[in-house]
């Protein structure tokens, strides 16, 4: 069993196109885990193996691998950088012990960079910053460092300075040791050389800054630094490791993933600086029987516990359940699911390695492992020893913000929704709901591309085509005034006729008042057995609408008069009479159209407040208030549903990926007359 102190599990995090998957490839190749340095662009990378990822040339799923380096076992999670798949990254940062946070030396800090940095800061996740793509044209290390200092909630300390840039990038200077190294081609390794003369002053300045930052994280070190004026190499490393573990500082390394430059130095830094599982705070859960809080220390001989953080659907292998071992050692072929209160049996324990899985006999703290075909277990569950149960808090996920109506292109609805249900296990940001008024099935996610990828995946895995369409808006109709009208249904066509006659008063109710029916008949002008039929006819007519086919709401009906025929009257005749009276009365009372308003809570930076507010006004929205927190300006607004069906895409474009929002139903309001005319005309086409 691997010594827990020599285990690392890390997520590679960063904005889209910063080189995360390329860096994962370089790390695996340099460590000797893979024999060939694949490329993301041509689909040969070990971590971007999904057909959809290759076609779109972007990571969609978190993918998993591992390597050994200098006696350390490192479990690797490569995360997506696209906003549509940001939940994969959000989840990963909750289960790993550290992160390699990548920032591109050309593009620098982008909107997504800030989002991911916030994930890391919120989780107090120890991290190393890797400035990547130093070989590219316009690569600027120091400009990128300045952007990180100014815009991100992490405290960078440079420990590797680049020798050269762009086509001249060829090595690094280690600020801790004061030594310089030149890269050795695509091997990822390096050899020692003299520090370039023009970098000696810069090295001295950054070593001084490094000592200051490290000293600030520890009272003993700051006292020593103030007395002696410097710290030893051992003090710097010990202080840096402590500061990183407490998420107070983030050491900065440098490299080029595609050229495999600086990779070995990064692997060394991961081993030396990022914490092992037993250097992280113990995870606290709840005993499901007693309700007491339970602490699980990441020790190999502690009771077994693990958190399930991802489920993958496979048409052949079934569900693949991926979990991180929190404490103890898993071996054998069973474990207890504390959330479902059941014992699960599994056939083989695996370590995920890209598209493959490597069988293992056991797994200890920090290991990321998988089993197939569990019957009850789902993402967020806690696995543990039945003799010592514990339930950890469920994994947090992003809330969906965009919805589309879904249908099967060839009418195979049952198979489609069976496939979507399997996707719900795999992706917790998806929601499947039914809109009662429109009878549409809605699939909700974090972006349009997110939902399109779900459709592509269902087609590829299960052979079913899913169509997406903007949902119909569930408009409603109501009345402004009141009216008294007669509804008479009289039909004679030989034999027994039909006769029903009723007089009703129709009155408006306040918004949300629903429907009320009151029988005010006096003297039996309509026999008792026919009066419920009048109400039934009115209710059915209300559901079908009068103005544009939308349900009529918020009104009261008084049944006040009528007449009947001893032979020709029937329930059906009075039902038709009630319907006729209602339609006539609704028109006389003055019909209006109502539309649903949504409550938007929008989180943006100060620079984008004006643009977002102006855009809300153009969407007929009303700003209800503003607030602020440490990261965002918070705008609360009410906006018609019809105006924000693609708001997720629009806000991303407006804010460069920086904006976020939550949406919930608020209330119904009257549609402006000119808008209502268009809606009515469209419904009557």
For every residue of 74-104, DSSP letters joined together read: EEEEE---SGGGHHHHHHHHHH-SEEEEEEE
Name the pLDDT band for 302 (thresholds 50, 70, 90): very high
pLDDT at 653: 87
Phi and psi at residue 449, in whole multiples of 5°? -65, -35
pLDDT higher for 20 or 319?
Answer: 20
Share of the chain above pLDDT 70, in %: 96
Condensed to tens digits (0 to 9), the pLDDT of residues 450-506 reads: 999 899 888 888 888 999 999 999 999 999 999 999 999 998 776 678 999 999 999
Condensed to tens digits (0 to 9), the pLDDT of residues 358-367 reads: 999 999 999 9
DSSP 3-state assignment of 536? helix
pLDDT at 649: 87
Burial 531-540 (b: 16+ CB within 10 A, else e): bebbbbbbbe
pLDDT at 412: 81
Condensed to tens digits (0 to 9), the pLDDT of residues 218-227 reads: 888 888 888 8
CA distance linking residue 113 with residue 14, whole number of Å: 6
pLDDT at 81: 84
Share of the chain above pLDDT 90, in %: 69
pLDDT at 598: 95
pLDDT at 5: 94
Long-range contacts of range 609-615, CB-CB < 8 Å, 24 or more positions apart? 609/633, 609/635, 611/654, 611/655, 612/651, 612/654, 612/655, 612/659, 615/650, 615/654
Beta strands per DSSP E along 387-465: 402-408, 431-435, 440-445
Helix, strand, coil: what percent of the chain each, to 5? 30, 30, 35
CA distance linking residue 2 with residue 277, whole number of Å: 12
Which of 52-61, 185-194, 573-582 is least confident?
52-61
Condensed to tens digits (0 to 9), the pLDDT of residues 389-427 reads: 999 998 888 888 899 999 987 778 888 988 898 888 788
Provide the mean pLDDT of the chain.
91
CA distance linking residue 186 with residue 537, whole number of Å: 80
pLDDT at 424: 86
pLDDT at 315: 55
Neighbouring C-alpha atoms within 13 Å toward the C-beta of 423: 29
pLDDT at 632: 84
pLDDT at 138: 95
Domains along the sequence of the chain with CATH: 4-279 (3.40.50.300), 286-384 (2.40.30.10), 402-469 (3.30.70.870), 477-589 (3.30.230.10), 593-683 (3.30.70.240)
User: 317 pLDDT exceeds 70?
Assistant: no
CA distance linking residue 333 with residue 475, whole number of Å: 55
User: 187 pLDDT exceeds 60?
Assistant: yes
Beta strands per DSSP E along 439-540: 440-445, 466-469, 476-479, 483-491, 498-508, 515-519
Condensed to tens digits (0 to 9), the pLDDT of residues 51-83 reads: 666 666 677 788 999 999 999 999 999 998 888
Crossing angle of helices 200-215 and 219-228, rounded to 10°: 140
Per the CB < 8 A criterion, the answer to whether 181 and 202 are in contact is no
Give the pLDDT mean for 275-299: 94
CA distance linking residue 454 with residue 416, whole number of Å: 12
User: 572 pLDDT exceeds 80?
Assistant: yes
Q: Which of 195, 159, 158 is nearest to 176 (CA)?
A: 159
pLDDT at 208: 92
Condensed to tens digits (0 to 9), the pLDDT of residues 517-561 reads: 999 998 889 999 999 999 999 999 999 999 999 999 999 999 999
pTM, to two decimals: 0.84
CA-CA distances (angstroms) from residue 444 to 401, 406, 454, 460, 637?
7, 10, 11, 20, 21
Q: Are strands 440-445 and 466-469 parallel, antiparallel or unpaired?
A: unpaired
User: 316 pLDDT exceeds 70?
Assistant: no
CA distance linking residue 23 with residue 257, whole number of Å: 5
Give the pLDDT mean for 584-603: 95
Q: CB-based burial of residue 183 (10 Å sphere; 0-12 exposed, 13-18 middle, 19+ buried)? A: buried
Q: Which of 512, 509, 516 is nearest to 480 (CA)?
A: 509
CA-CA distances (angstroms) from residue 171 to 104, 133, 181, 253, 263?
17, 13, 5, 12, 11
Kindly state the tokens that stand for 477: 């109709």
Q: Which of 596, 605, 601, 598 is nearest to 636 (CA)?
A: 601
Kindly state the tokens that stand for 585: 């009365």
pLDDT higher for 641 or 682?
Answer: 641
Location of structure tokens 């910063």: 18
Give the pLDDT mean for 147-170: 94
Burial 420-448 (b: 16+ CB within 10 A, else e): bebbbbbbbbbeeeeeeeeebbbbbbbbe
Name the pLDDT band for 50 (thresholds 50, 70, 90): low
CA-CA distances (angstroms) from residue 8 to 95, 249, 400?
12, 18, 32
User: 39 pLDDT exceeds 80?
Assistant: no
DSSP 3-state assignment of 233? helix
Phi and psi at residue 135, in whole multiples of 5°? -85, -5
Beta strands per DSSP E along 401-542: 402-408, 431-435, 440-445, 466-469, 476-479, 483-491, 498-508, 515-519
């Amino acid at each position: 069993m691997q010594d827990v102190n020599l285990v690392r599990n890390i997520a590679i995090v960063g904005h889209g196109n910063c080189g995360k998957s390329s860096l994962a490839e370089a790390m695996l190749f340099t460590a000797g885990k893979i024999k060939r340095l694949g490329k993301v662009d041509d689909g040969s990378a070990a971590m971007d193996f999904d057909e959809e990822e290759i076609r779109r040339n972007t990571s969609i799923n978190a993918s998993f691998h591992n390597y050994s380096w200098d006696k350390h076992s490192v479990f690797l999670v490569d995360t997506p950088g696209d906003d549509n798949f940001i939940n994969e990254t959000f989840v990963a940062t909750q289960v790993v012990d550290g992160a390699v946070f990548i920032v591109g030396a050309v593009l620098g800090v982008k909107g997504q960079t800030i989002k991911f940095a916030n994930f890391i800061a919120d989780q107090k996740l120890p991290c190393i910053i890797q400035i990547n793509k130093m070989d590219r044209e316009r690569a600027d290390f120091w400009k990128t460092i300045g952007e990180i200092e100014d815009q991100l909630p992490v405290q960078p300390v440079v420990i590797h300075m680049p020798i050269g840039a762009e086509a001249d990038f060829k090595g690094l200077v280690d600020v801790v040791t004061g030594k310089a190294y030149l890269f050795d081609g695509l091997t990822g390794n390096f050899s020692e050389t003299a520090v370039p003369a023009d970098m000696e002053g810069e090295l001295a300045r950054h070593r001084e800054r490094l000592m200051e930052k490290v000293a600030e994280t520890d009272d003993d070190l700051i006292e020593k630094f103030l007395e002696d004026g410097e710290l030893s190499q051992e003090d710097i490393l010990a202080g840096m490791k402590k500061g990183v573990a407490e998420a107070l500082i983030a050491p900065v390394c440098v490299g080029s993933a595609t050229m495999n430059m600086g990779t070995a130095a990064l692997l060394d830094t991961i081993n030396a600086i990022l914490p092992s599982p037993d250097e992280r705070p113990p995870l606290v859960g709840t005993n499901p029987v007693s309700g007491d809080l339970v602490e699980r220390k990441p020790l190999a001989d502690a009771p077994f516990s693990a958190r399930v953080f991802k489920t993958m659907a496979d048409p052949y292998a079934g569900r693949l359940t991926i979990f991180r071992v929190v404490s103890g050692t898993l071996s054998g072929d069973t474990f207890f699911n504390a959330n479902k209160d059941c014992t699960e049996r599994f056939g083989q324990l695996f370590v995920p390695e890209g598209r493959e899985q490597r069988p293992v006999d056991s797994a200890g703290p920090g290991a990321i492992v998988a089993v197939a075909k569990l019957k009850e277990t789902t993402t967020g569950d806690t696995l543990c020893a039945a003799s010592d149960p514990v339930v950890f808090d469920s994994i947090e996920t992003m809330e969906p913000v965009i919805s589309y109506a879904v249908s099967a292109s060839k009418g195979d609805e049952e198979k489609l929704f069976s496939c979507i249900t399997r996707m719900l296990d795999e992706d917790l940001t998806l929601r499947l709901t039914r809109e009662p008024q429109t009878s549409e099935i809605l699939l909700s996610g974090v972006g349009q591309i997110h939902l399109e990828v779900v459709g592509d995946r269902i087609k590829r895995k299960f052979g079913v085509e899913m169509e997406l369409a903007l949902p119909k808006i569930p408009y409603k109709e109501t009345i402004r005034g009141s009216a008294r009208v007669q509804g008479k249904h009289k039909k004679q066509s030989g034999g027994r006729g039909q006769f029903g006659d009723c007089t009703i008063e129709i009155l408006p109710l306040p918004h949300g008042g629903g429907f009320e029916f009151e029988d005010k008949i006096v003297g039996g002008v309509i026999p008792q057995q026919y009066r419920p039929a009048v109400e039934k006819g009115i209710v059915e007519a209300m559901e079908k609408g009068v103005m544009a086919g939308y349900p009529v709401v918020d009104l009261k009906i008084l049944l006040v008069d009528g007449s009947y025929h001893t032979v020709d009257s029937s329930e059906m005749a009075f039902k038709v009479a009630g319907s006729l009276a209602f339609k006539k009365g609704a028109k006389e009372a003055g019909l209006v159209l109502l539309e649903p308003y949504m409550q938007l809570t929008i989180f943006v930076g100060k620079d984008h407040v004006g643009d977002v507010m102006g855009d809300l006004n153009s969407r007929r929205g009303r700003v209800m208030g503003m607030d602020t927190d440490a990261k965002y300006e918070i705008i609360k607004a009410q906006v018609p549903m019809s105006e924000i069906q693609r708001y997720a895409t629009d806000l991303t474009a407006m804010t460069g990926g920086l904006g976020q929002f939550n949406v919930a139903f608020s209330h119904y309001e009257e549609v402006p007359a000119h808008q209502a005319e268009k809606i009515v005309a469209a419904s009557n086409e």
